[in-house]
Structure 1
Amino acid sequence: MTINSLDEESISLESSELEFIQKSYDQVQEIFERSCYDCHSNNTDIPIYGYMFPVNLYLQDHVSEGRESLNFSKWKSYSAKKRSTLAFEIVEEVEEDAMPPASYKLLHSKAIIDPETFQKIKRWQEEQERYYENSQK
């Protein structure tokens, strides 16, 4: 999935901002797809056990909360400030080993973020911050 196929909302962005969002996001898209999208996008892949009671209730609530706090399917519609803030929060959560949750990593070993991958996320976050700061000048 490319960012171009993300949910469209009534937003007006300069083409240079759209190019930045796409280029920047391309660097980390695969990481987020395997580690975050099940709870933080509209592309949730629910495993077979996720349809069984009471697991289905837990997953439904967990995914709803995840999308409320961050939804990568709406990334393009977020302001530069919000993208910068969310990117910072992503780095904090990964650094503190709070995200992806241990229970998710237990069942999805590909979601584990190793130190090299974390550095890619950190560089991406720094780009988001610089872009926002430059947009305020």
Structure 2
Amino acid sequence: MLKKILLVLLVIFVVAQFFGPEKNQGDIQSVEPFLNETKPNAEVTAILKETCFDCHSSFTRYPWYDKITPVNYWLAEHVEDGKKHLDFSQWSTYEAKKKDHKLEELIEMVEEKEMPLPSYTWTHKEANLSDDQIEAVISWAKNVRSNIQL
């Protein structure tokens, strides 16, 4: 009986590999309006690319394990949720008040080390921000906020 159950589960797992969620495979150029408007320096730009854009833009660099169902559904849900909160690819469509609020949230989340998510840094060690990197991002975001015309 146990062998039959395991065989059925194996078949279901194998068949499931042929299905997956829609990928977030837009163009990395979609963040250019955001970068052009907010003008992060090279250090902050690199931090944003390594730690933010995968889940908060229209372009995600998928890891090898994204090809495994159900992991791919879990990743897709993270990206979808991230884009609901902040989508750098949609930055130019945000009103000034919304931009200010999103930067305020970014500052808070980075300052409190809630972003990037631990589940992201677990598999992306380069996304673990040092105190200096956190300060650089916060300083840049505060500067951008001070220049937003509300």
Aligned match of 2:21 = none
Give a deviation string over 1:29-65, Cα, whole Å, max 9, x none: 2211100111111110111211211101111111111
Aligned match of 2:128 = 112
Which of 19, 30, 36 is 1:22 aligned to? 36
Distance in 2 between the 1:82 and 1:73 partners? Answer: 14
Number of residue pairs matched by the alignment: 121
**Superposition CA RMSD, Å:** 2.4
Matched, 1:54 2:78: no
Q: Give the aligned residue type for 1:46.
A: Y
Aligned match of 2:116 = 100
Indicate conservation of the 8 Å contact 1:84/1:129, yes or no: yes
Measure how far apart 1:7 and its partner are. 6.7
Measure how far apart 1:128 and its partner are. 2.4
Alpha carbons of structure 1 residues 7 and 38: separation in structure 2 relative to 1, 3 Å: closer
Partner SS state of residue 86, structure 1: helix
TM-score (norm 1): 0.77
Distance in 2 between the 1:26 and 1:93 partners? Answer: 18
Partner SS state of residue 38, structure 1: coil
Alpha carbons of structure 1 residues 45 and 80: separation in structure 2 relative to 1, 3 Å: same
Indicate conservation of the 8 Å contact 2:107/2:142, yes or no: no
In structure 1, stretches of 5+ residues that fail to align are: 9-17
Distance in 1 between the 2:82 and 2:37 partners? Answer: 25
Give a deviation string over 1:61-85, Cα, whole Å, max 9, x none: 1111111111111223322222211
Which of 57, 63, 70 is 2:79 aligned to? 63
Paired-residue identity, %? 32
Indicate conservation of the 8 Å contact 1:84/1:125, yes or no: no
TM-score (norm 2): 0.71
Of structures 1 and 2, the larger Rg is shown by: 2
Measure how far apart 1:129 and its partner are. 2.1
Give a deviation string over 1:69-103, Cα, whole Å, max 9, x none: 11111223322222211111111111222111112
Output aligned runs, 1:64-103, within 5 Å. Answer: 64-103=80-119
Q: Give the aligned residue type for 2:38.
A: S
Matched, 1:6 2:20: no
Q: Whose relative contact order is higher, 1 or 2, with alpha carbons under 8 Å and at least 6 apart?
A: 1
Aligned match of 1:121 = 137
